[in-house]
Amino acid sequence: MGLPVHRLQDYDRWLGNRLQQNLGCHVVTLNAEMVMQAECNPTLASSIRQAELVVPDGAGVILYLLLHGIRQQRCPGIELAESLLRQAGELGESYPVFFYGGKPGIAQTAAKIWQEQYPKLAIAGIEDGYLSPEAEDQFKVRLAKEQPPLILVGLGVPRQELWIAQNRHLCPQAIWIGVGGSFDIWAGVKSRAPVWLRNNHLEWLYRLYQEPWRWRRMMALPQFALKAIGQRLA
């Protein structure tokens, strides 16, 4: 559908190596909803195509690959971000992490919980996702000055992907990854789907149960599936 998916056996190790070598990259965790948004948003599509790593996050992307005879294991974005945090926690003060996004107080709680698990984890800074234009400008100056090697951006799709693409030049050696609502889960505000739902590619159903207001956005899933099947038949 005009977007890349990078097929690796070990995304964690690939990103861990880049983190230690100070090789910056933009990580996109691709799902069906994002693909359908990109069809209507050329700027989003361009941001995804320019990313150094696009992982198959959603079940729809896995289905698309399977229809084309490609078996690829799903890589949930939250688990990839957790792997990076664990690696940064083991590396210590030389690899501080910046948490950006979420409602006021959520990112702080998430960072605190991570530091309790990994006392060596260094926090470069924390900002919520409700900054005024003036505060955001000051935040960008701070990023450019501090150059954190790992930046987690939880602004939701597509805002986080667009924001990273526009601002990654501020820290060219950093790994930037959009983490969606991961801060809420780490902070204990929300929970992930049970393992059996995840293993059966039904995590989206649990999310709809938690956030029924998302039903309109979830309509992208059957639209994506129909288009994927139609392309395969064509």
Model pTM score: 0.92
* pLDDT of residue 176 exceeding 80: yes
Residue 231 — pLDDT band, cuts 50, 70, 90?
Answer: confident
pLDDT for the residue 213: 67
DSSP conformational letter for 93: G
pLDDT for the residue 4: 97
All structural domains of the chain: 11-56+77-192 (3.40.50)
Give yes or no for a contact between 82 and 55, defined as CB atoms under 8 angstroms apart.
no
pLDDT in tens, 181-193: 999 999 999 988 7
Closest among 87, 88, 83, 109 to 179, alpha carbons compared = 83
Query: DSSP assignment of 46-80, as one string?
Result: HHHHH-SEEEE-SHHHHHHHHHTT-------HHHH
pLDDT for the residue 214: 65
* pLDDT of residue 96 exceeding 80: yes
CB atoms within 10 A of CB 17: 12
Region 12-38 average pLDDT: 96
pLDDT for the residue 212: 73
% of the chain at pLDDT higher than 70: 95
